[in-house]
Structure 1
């Protein structure tokens, strides 16, 4: 570009001014050997050399050591001279040693006679673009590795017509197709015949394009023809101009979750039905019990009237009334049978075995957000329980714990042996001895003390309307207490809840038969003294009349505490006749135990409108008998006679 001195034209001057004004490009000339002979401000800005430092130097100093080692500068000039141009990109070196990415064009300059007189070299700094490209490439590679590393989701793309354009390992694992088998095929082949008949694939793409997203769940088909339940999301992909260029499709196999949800819904439905029936059973049982009290009064008054009736007409009327009372008694027995629907059938079981056998149902009940842990020591004692009822109670506790953790958490089931001393046993209203502890501990919201006091009440619930019946823990409570155990709760707001079921440990060795000796022996001639404990005045009056007619001296009490005081003060009492269901905390069974501790030789007869199988009578031993309401004076006499024969 240097003109011969004294011959620079006005056009050349303007061109030199243009070159000197350019700062975004390095524009300079080389002689035929590659030595710099001109230098513009752009070259100074890019490379860091002022004109006085670089004129006369070889241009190879701008190249990296690696490029000089391969003689790239020489080859670049040769290429430009031979082919009329050399163009390339590569790293170049500034004066301070730093590198920049350059776009380089070298053009040969020839005289009018074709003689090579030098080279024009234009360099542009593209470092920022290069770094952006590399960052984009690195990001794309990371994304590609991410997608290729995902195996739990099928992630792939479709063209605008719905043909598969790429395929990740997750898609191959879930759908069964290798990439070579499926790329280029239409994605509708994953749909069922029913969905293709309704053109669901087409409608899904149209929805995604129109609304920006399509999401749904449904059956999809694998390569082998089997079906799986899928969660599907389709997103449209658009270029910078907003043109649709394809779709991103993500599919997840949630077959197991759906099966778990269906099993849980079925379990909840069955549980809800069982709870409704239990509520009805409690109501009918209570009605039957009260009705039995009324029938006891009616039947025994009729019996007493029969003993004194002489007029045939009176006898006939009494007998008619007795038959009606008997029909009423049968009705109450039917109601009681309904209230107990499925009587407990206890058998010896290892609780760990029961829990392990029921583990799959418990895990499904927990759901995906809850982690279930089991801690089941090998030397846990056996218990005598009804296995299905035990499983139902455990499921109730798991469902309650799960509902207390709407955002997820953990549940731990623990078993272990427990020995209750007198104080601990008294606190649990149990006799001292060996027990098995089955605990369910959660990390949920916990409960305040006032709620803990009421959780076992039927129909009490802290859940929203429609979310619970309030019978779950009542059912657990009924099962545990009917099995001779106790249940307690340890809960703190914000720190979770621990529910502990204590069940009597199964003793090793010979089983107690529980049978009374049926050998008949003559009854005593003298009737003796009876203590009648009954809170219903009318029933107490009838019972007193019956015992009086049988030759007994009668002492009465209206509750267990009063009866204990009578037994302590009156040593003449040799028969205790008590109702099982009584007010003020202590029932007839508990009274019997206390009475036998005070008077081991005391004969005890218990009466209730509930069947004996439903009452906690374990441990009462010989000398204790039971009579169902409504009882007749003849039945009462037979029971007393049988008690007398027991040594």
Structure 2
């Protein structure tokens, strides 16, 4: 019968584990003994420190006694009292701390009695000093009658320190012996374990080598991944830049195309009018009207661009949107024609909003015309209002939207609807699905810019063949509501002119614009002065005793219009102010809104617009820009 050989490796491992367990058990007991020795040593050191602190307190008390009796300074009394209290506290703590050593406890009690006896001398001397026997107290202090008591107290302290030092040395020697035993025990166990661990170590080295190779492979793969990510990020950045340049090219191309068309109408019509003005006045007038129409379309294009870029100055007021669509309903019905069933659904109890009334009306007209064009064979168009609350979940899904209370104005049609790719680009400038010449592609972008500039949010809901709903969300206004007067007024039959001999000072660095304003105001009956800049205007005001209105451009070389207005307000506060500008700027516009009390005449303007604005500023009326 063949006997089975034992597994040497397993025996080695089990033996090594047994030795380690034995080492751990021995280490545990040695460690506990070491801990006890350390505690004793720490307590001995604490007693030594306490005795030193006690001596310090005693010296402070004696110094306070000497200072008071010899110098007569009351501050030494407080110092003595504080040191005495701390001395008693130190003595009581010393007795508690040495409770495990009866001999030292007895010595501590003797020390407590000794110091109390010594301090009784001080109490008597202080009593003499306070009763007027200062010299008796000082003679007693100089006679040092309490010297034997003080020496006895010091002798007790020295004896306790010596006993503590002896105990400390004894514990340290015991700790050294235990440390020696502990070291020998560990060395024996370590020597035994090393032999058993040799094979495991070699195997571990082999495993570590394989792990290192795998780690290097992983690091190389990770580095390649980082390089690919960086390359992809660079490609995405380049793609975004190309898309940005494509958008800019589309924007500038669209502007150039539309402006060239409008300039062609203006230039061609004016050229024909000039050729026919002498022999065919009627046809010349028709050409002038055509040129005016083209110029107004160009002005509308710049207004749309400013609205899309959120640079159009707004004159907001608080109003009820339901009341506004009721007043606007007849105009919208006439605008879209009879083939469309037009209805309004104004909500009752609607929250007020604060926005530019004229811009909102323009947006509703624009959206209604778009809806009409989407219903070639007729259909249904509904303009409605409602109170809504946008929660944080909705705001998280729509970047740039703050949760809260909003008023929703919806223009819904039953037209052809939009494909998803068309709906996603509907707010882009110059994007249009209409045939060439039927639209600029700025209508919806103007609406979007106005709503965002008013702190709101615009969303299009549409599917191909299911109609379209454009939702305008305007923030709820907590203030009062003003009566809304529609800006869609009929044509003026008579322009408002000057009253009496009213004087207007026109300031503009562009000669032709300045001359146009001067001629128009003179035709309206005003006395007109003009200046080409802020400095010349101030010089003119020094020699002109009376001016009723300052009409100034905003952006001018040298002194801007806002700086000129500030100086005029300081020098001549009775002069009223009206700005004219083709582009809003700091000083008159804050966060896209006209500053309080600012009147603005946007360029380009007609004589009728100039007449109305000047008259309203002079009459002190408040009106939108």
Q: If each structure's helix is expressed as a fraction of its own residues, which one has the higher value?
A: 2
**Shared fold, TM over 0.5:** no
Give the TM-score normalised by the residue count of structure 1. 0.29
What TM-score do the two structures reach when normalised by structure 2? 0.30
